[in-house]
Amino acid sequence: MMKRRDILKAVLALGVTAPAVHANSEDDMDVELDLSKREWRKILDDDAAFRVLFKDGTERPWSSDLNQEKRAGTYICKACFQPLFDASMKFESGTGWPSFFDTLEGAVGLKRDFKLILPRTEYHCTRCGGHQGHVFDDGPQPTGKRYCNNGVALTFVAQGDELPELRAMAS
């Protein structure tokens, strides 16, 4: 009798993946700043940030300087500068990526992804649609959530420093 793990191994060996099924696909995700990938490519001078934000990539764990960031402040989307997290929401998850137990209200939108066959919930900036990371149900209270973010998709603004103006259009 074939076991589920044998079926999974066979599917992975063939390179077959499940179709992406999104509760809220990018095509119908409400984003305020609707620019093409080509326009975002012109705006972002960081190849790694572009790959993560607009090609749904992932940075290597432990590669972000933001893992060690402990100051009070705000974490903003690297593409459009929308505030996403307050520093008080950050915690040490031990995963190698900056992690937060909550987001600022209205800052992120969720969608389901099956890129690794098993379903996960990814989240994107609601302003530009840039991919930030994935959310899991193994975080601390009060939410029990872990927003596992790619550091390369964020910029940290220390408390007292001025937040940059939200990007309005491609240059």
What letter represents residue 126's amino acid?
T
The number of helix segments (H) and strand segments (E) in the chain equals 3, 9
- Rounded to an integer, what distance in angstroms lies between the CA atom of residue 134 and that of residue 33? 21
The CA angle 99-62-135, to the nearest 5 degrees, is 30
Q: Is 148 a catalytic residue?
A: yes
For 66, 102, 129, 164, the CA distances from 74, given in Å and listed in that order, are 12, 13, 19, 11
- Rounded to an integer, what distance in angstroms lies between the CA atom of residue 33 and that of residue 81? 11
Residue 65 DSSP code: G
Give the pair of three-digit tokens for residue 70.
Answer: 């402990």
Residue 49 parent element (H or E): helix 47-55
Which candidate in 80, 125, 128, 148 is catalytic?
148
Pairing of strands 73-77, 108-116: unpaired
Active site (catalytic) residues? 148
